[in-house]
Structure 1
Amino acid sequence: MDFTLPEELVELLARIDAFIEREIKPLEQRDDNIRFFDHRREDARTDWERGGLPTREWEALLGEARRLADAAGFYRYPFPKEYGGMEGTNLGMAVIREHLAAKGLGLHNDLQNEHSIVGNNVGLMLMLAYGSEAQKAEWVNDLAEGRRGFAFGITEPEHGSDATYMETAAVRDGDGWVINGEKTWNTGVHVADHDLIFARTSGEPGDGVGITAFLVPTDAPGFKVEEYLWTFNMPTDHAHISLTEVRVPDEAIFGAEGRGLQVVQHFFNENRIRQAASSLGAAQFCVNEAVAYAGERKPFGKPLSANQAIQFPLVELQTQCEMLRALIHKTAWQMDAGGPFSVSKEVSMCNYWANRLCCEAADRAMQVHGGLGYSRHKPFEHIYRHHRRYRITEGAEEIQMRRVAGYMFGFMKQRAPKGVAE
């Protein structure tokens, strides 16, 4: 077995690092843009007068960084070559996302809103896999260049992890559909001109088949943003929306009628391994910073690092980082070989453990840094508040563990909703 990273990937990381120093860091320092990353970050990013949405200046800065990265050839790494990409692998994306997150807060990679100089364009990935020819013609170039995007309307106020029990329904009406229902945690809908709405079109609650995905214009009559939900880490772009007699044509169906959950599962598995890698990188950053500070800080005349009470917790965290890194690399490599549905159990393992580990590492870094660590003059509170959400939003860790148990004890296929790919 050879665990050495591919030479071309190592070279790519070096080129990305040089690009960050050459173009991204100067932009981060220009015009007081550092306010979005220092102790003022939450206030600078949040438009409190617009319901807590991201400020336009913040989103414009992220857009400028993405344009620089695209011009330099990095942003489209995972895209197909015909759309300017490098045909990047899942292993490559995992390594890159960990590498960038391990650098800490910065314009190169801000996990709060999935910004990165190496794009994780889920919308494009799904459009290429499930879009009709007409949808691809309309959407692909805009998605690839970041001019347009669509939000995801999956979760409902009364149904989170139990997606097969969604109450939003679409009824056929002539050559189109009428949709009624509600969705919550509808991220990014404030800048999206369409929302990918998942609605039951047939079957019974609990059935995996009979749920269809629709690309719904956000300006359609009956589509309404009820509120943006304020969160532990602001700003918010997580909307609660309602659909009242919203009409869409048959061409709005995304993927096959009644097979919408396949779209969801495809999105979840590939996104979760990348997100796990990001949490690992953030955890490693926290450990590295705590180790460095423990060597510098000298209360009572000796470095903190001389105390086993400081050493041992950080040793345990570093050990967990190393073990998790091996599992993430193996899982991403297997996903490249067998597809996103071939490693469902392993993806769940990586995801729930990485998110938990990141929170524990951020908490330990706060403790080692003392009062300064608790302040917003260090990034640990921000990392904790942001990554705490992933223990819920990427599939609650209890659901992830239940999924692993299903494979371990042999009842996953027996109990899985009929029609959902494993």
Structure 2
Amino acid sequence: MEFRESEEQRALRAAVAALAARYGHRYLVEKATAGQPTTELWTEAGKLGYLGVAVPTEYGGGGAGITELSIVCEELAAGGCPLLLLVVSPAIAATVIAKSGTDEQKRTWLPGFADGSLKMSFAITEPDAGSNFHRLTTTARRDGDGWRLSGSKVFISGVDESDATLVVARMEDTRTGKLQPALFVVPTDTPGMEFHPIPMALVSPERQFSVHFDEARLPSDALVGGEDAALAALFAGLNPERITVAAYCCGIGRYAVRKGIEYANSRSVWDTTLGAHQALAHPLARAHMEVDLARLAVSRAAWAYDQDDPTAGESANIAKYTAAESAFDAVNTAIQVHGGNGMTAEYGVGPLLGAVRAAQIAPVSREMILNFVAQHTLGLQRSY
């Protein structure tokens, strides 16, 4: 079994880490506080090829996989610049179109993903559906040679800075007459589409929105992959979403532990540094080990996905669970090491608390992951 990354992967990790170091966490907080997107960092990462590392080469991408995209997510976060839209746009939307899109959709959208000139948000969550996919009510009905889309979505990240939104809806199956899941690419300037910001406690440059579709008119080619794609198109993006969120969490965890270590080594009490006291040293050591174990889980999940291994779904869920839990513990520990300074913006750990707490809820809650493992791995009776 090989645990070492390839030379190319190590070079990618080092290059992305260097990019993140040039911007740093202060840049992210300043952007978030001002309500501005991280345009400069996103643009530079796109030009350097990091955002399109997993896009097929024939469309201008790097031709690598979710393993490499996870490296990008982790290293930006480890440098204090966690970008949620990396998960939404390159990991979900680009993967869905690359795997399930028509040839024309690939030609239209993938080059923009490859160079970072395109951002696409992802809209699945609805106000009354929660984690129950079967209760989604956003519906697309045929209208001549196109579609009419109606319904509402909530907690949709970065719609305001996206060129289009990948919307999960339901449409009528012409063979059975039943409603089946389908994905549609909806440009954000489509008439009949409105979005409004949701006030959040999170300190993040990516804002959250409620989105409403009122008979929004879509062309026939808005349907991703055609009528036969259905669930395959949706599931193409869900495991990459979990894996890259996990990588994002691992990066935040590494950043938090590093900040805790720096502070513990720089402050003295009773003629010793803070780090000499086991009450702080042990929690930092534990947080480091938990994050390191989560990184192994992410690597395994990304490998399984890239190899089309049947364990990819289980591994992706485990990686997401362990990474979110370890990141929360790491940030909480770093705050405690800093004492009151941990809750200030200046020291750079307090603002991360909301992000890691949200990662325990979305894109899939830890409770639903435990349900999945209990049912599919342990063979226990389904509880819901």
Q: Which position in structure 2 is the counterpart of 1:114?
A: 86
Distance change (3 Å), C-alpha of 1:17 and 1:214: closer
* CA drift at 1:228: 0.8
Contact 1:152 1:196 in 2 (8 A): yes
Specify the alignment match of 1:327 in structure 2.
Answer: 297
Greater alpha carbon shift after TM alignment, 171-180 vs 267-276: 171-180
Deviations 1:276-320 (A, max 9, x none): 122112112212221232222111222222222112222222221
1:232-271 correspondence to structure 2 within 5 Å: 232-234=201-203, 235=205, 237-257=207-227, 259-271=229-241
Counterpart of 1:43 (choices 23, 33, 43) is 33
Cα distance, 1:63 vs structure 2: 4.3
Give CA deviations for 1:336-390 in whole Å, capped at 9, x if unaligned.
2225x64211211110121121111111101101111111111111221122211
- Per the alignment, do residues 260 and 190 of structure 1 end up closer, same or farther by CA in structure 2, a change over 3 Å counting? farther
In 2, Cα distance between equivalents of 1:405 and 1:79: 34
Distance 2:112 2:62 in 1: 18
How many residue pairs get aligned? The number is 379
Any idea what SS the aligned residue of 1:211 has? strand
- TM-superposition CA deviations, 1:229-283 (whole Å, max 9, x none): 1112245532212222223233221124275433232212012112212211211
Structure 2: distance between partners of 1:194 and 1:294: 45
Q: Which amino acid aligns with 2:350?
A: E
Higher deviation after alignment, 359-368 or 126-135: 126-135
2:54 maps to which of 78, 84, 88: 78
Amino acid at match of 2:104: A
Alignment counterpart, residue 97 of structure 1, candidates 73, 80, 105: 73
Determine the structure 2 residue equivalent to 1:309.
279
Give the drift of 1:165.
1.0
Query: Does residue 315 of structure 2 align to residue 346 of structure 1?
Result: yes
Q: Distance in 1 between matches of 2:126 and 2:84?
A: 22
| AA at the equivalent of 1:84 | G
Contact preservation (8 Å) 1:232, 1:386: no
- Deviation for aligned residue 1:96: 4.2
Write the letter of the residue equivalent to 1:100.
Answer: L
Q: 2:283 aligned with 1:283, yes or no?
A: no
Aligned counterpart, 1:49: none
CA contact (8 A) 1:210 1:258 kept: no
Q: Is residue 273 of structure 1 aligned with residue 243 of structure 2?
A: yes
Cross-structure match for 1:361: 330
1:186 aligned to 134, 153, 156, which one?
Answer: 156
Q: Percent identity?
A: 27
The AA in structure 1 aligned to 2:289 is T
CA distance in 2: counterparts of 1:64 and 1:249, whole angstroms: 30
Aligned to 1:6: 6
CA shift in 2, pair 1:306/1:327, >3 Å: same
Q: Is the 8 A contact 1:209 1:258 kept in 2?
A: no
1:415 Cα deviation from its structure 2 partner: 9.3
CA distance in 1, matches of 2:244, 2:267: 35
Aligned AA (1:406):
Q
Change (3 A) 1:401 1:15: same
Determine the C-alpha separation between the residues in 2 that align with 1:74 and 1:114: 10
Per the alignment, in what secondary structure is the counterpart of residue 255 of structure 1? Answer: coil
In structure 1, stretches of 5+ residues that fail to align are 47-54, 417-422
Tell me if the contact between 2:321 and 2:369 (Cα under 8 Å) persists in the aligned partners.
Answer: yes
Residue in structure 2 matching 1:147, options 110, 117, 120: 117
Task: Name the amino acid aligned to 1:10.
Answer: R
Q: Structure 2 unaligned segments of length 5 or more: list them.
A: none
Scaled by the length of structure 2, what TM-score is found?
A: 0.87
Q: Deviations over 1:62-102 (max 9, x none)?
A: 344235xx2x4444322222233332233333344333322
- Mapped to 1, the partners of 2:187 and 2:76 lie a distance apart of 34
